[in-house]
Structure 1
């Protein structure tokens, strides 16, 4: 891997990690379109450490409160009712599905799951799911026909507005369901944030609550995955220097993206991302169907592993 490839891929990782469009798919597609070798699952996992460091810094006050309360809850039974302590346990519970499935399907993640046809399909399908979830959230947030209270002055039918849940209302069941949604992101094209945010919206949480818990939930999963894959860096065409460079660059770009994204979702819908996903997935299917791209374009994997 050249330094220029590392620069481009680090930039792509930082720009796409927290948007619901799948950073792993964009890394795979960027390499395929440019005619480069697939950077591989190990490279993808390691440079995601940079973006997660950005999350840790951005949410440092929240994380400090959660860690402090969680440790105190181990010895103080009264602290177990504290929201931050409970959130610490919920992040642990929510991380179980992706940890178990990540180990169980490691070979598939590094091989068959990187097929461009599968990536295109997941881009489209999860895009539609995100769109449906977003419309449900928008419908609940909108006042009924009779005004903010949902009443109707004409005596006709009216829709009762449903109050969406905040992160303070997160339960163990919901935390585990969030975790199952996050595990879908083991397939490139799904998007970690897209899957968990969609899951949160379907469960009745606000956009802000779904996004915030999605970011917190990703921290242990991404860090563990990146550290686990460190052993494969230096094998094949991926070397340490470009990998470190891409990781640092992804951190710098990702920090700016987080700040923008949290402001964006407070007032805007996810529909631009839905449209982008569907168009990108459709274009990719056309390119593969017409022979412009091979389903396994550039695939070789790290350490000589097959790309499927």
Structure 2
């Protein structure tokens, strides 16, 4: 890998992991459009570590509260809102784990085409735009109910379809059940933590089974750049949606999807 490829892939991963525009779509298409060779599993793991570090650092206070409250609840000292939030994150992660385990080979083998990516970008983008326009809830991530978590968790399983966007579909579902824009985004980012851990774990297993030479300087730089860009993305995204909502991202998705249809299938 040359350094230009490292920089582009790291920044793309860091930005698109948390924006509702589909990281998988961009990471699949970058090598197609540039004709770069596959970056390899080791680099993928490094990028995931960078993104994971960013979201953990950004939400460190919330995560610490969730951890300590959960431990207190297990000791029989009562369940507060932080412990409930931790439970909701776990429950909302179960559907994507189950579907991913059962359909992983199908998704990897048959659904990573530019046609599916383009249609997913457009279709789920329009759905996000509708949810943002129609629903103006006020509830935060601390005011979820079980049925809300079930809806959001089932929606997150759809993110296994390339082009859907994990953050996009979970924010869409959260808006539809009455959460505020910021609350929906924050819960979506918290949900990303177990998903990134699981995805990175699977890639690590694949890396162990396929030993290869490792360029540590490339991996460290890629992880650092991915982490910095992801942290800045989370920070500015949460500020931007208060004023502009989701419509700029909807417009980007539709334009991107239409361009893919024209470029690859016209």
Which SS does the other structure have where 1:164 is aligned? coil
Distance 1:244 1:71, change over 3 A: same
| 2:47 counterpart residue number | 47
| 2:149 counterpart residue number | 175
1:164 to partner: Cα distance: 3.0
1:135 counterpart (133, 148, 165)? 133
Unaligned stretches of 5+ residues in structure 2: none
**TM-score where L is the length of structure 1:** 0.79
1:216 counterpart (187, 190, 194)? 190
Q: How far, CA to CA, are the matches of 2:251 and 2:222 in structure 1?
A: 28
| 1:297 counterpart residue number | none
Q: How far, CA to CA, are the matches of 2:161 and 2:215 in structure 1?
A: 25
Which SS does the other structure have where 2:138 is aligned? coil
1:185 counterpart (138, 143, 159)? 159
1:188 to partner: Cα distance: 1.8
| 1:123 counterpart residue number | 121
Distance 1:3 1:112, change over 3 A: farther
**Contact 1:119–1:281 under 8 Å retained in 2:** yes
1:3 to partner: Cα distance: 3.8
| 1:75 counterpart residue number | 75
| 2:227 counterpart residue number | 251
Moved >6 Å (runs of 4+): none
Unaligned stretches of 5+ residues in structure 1: 141-162, 291-308
How many residues are paired up? 264
1:15 to partner: Cα distance: 1.7
**Contact 2:44–2:203 under 8 Å retained in 1:** no
**Contact 1:127–1:277 under 8 Å retained in 2:** yes
| 1:36 counterpart residue number | 36
Which SS does the other structure have where 1:165 is aligned? coil
Structure ranking higher in helix proportion: 2
Which SS does the other structure have where 1:114 is aligned? coil
Which SS does the other structure have where 1:109 is aligned? helix
Q: How far, CA to CA, are the matches of 2:213 and 2:152 in structure 1?
A: 33
Distance 1:44 1:135, change over 3 A: farther
Q: Where do 1:1-308 residues align within 5 Å?
A: 1-39=1-39, 44=44, 47-76=47-76, 78-80=77-79, 82-137=80-135, 140=136, 164-233=138-207, 235=210, 241=216, 242-290=218-266
**Contact 2:53–2:227 under 8 Å retained in 1:** yes
Distance 1:128 1:39, change over 3 A: farther
1:217 to partner: Cα distance: 1.0
Q: How far, CA to CA, are the matches of 1:86 and 1:221 in structure 2?
A: 19
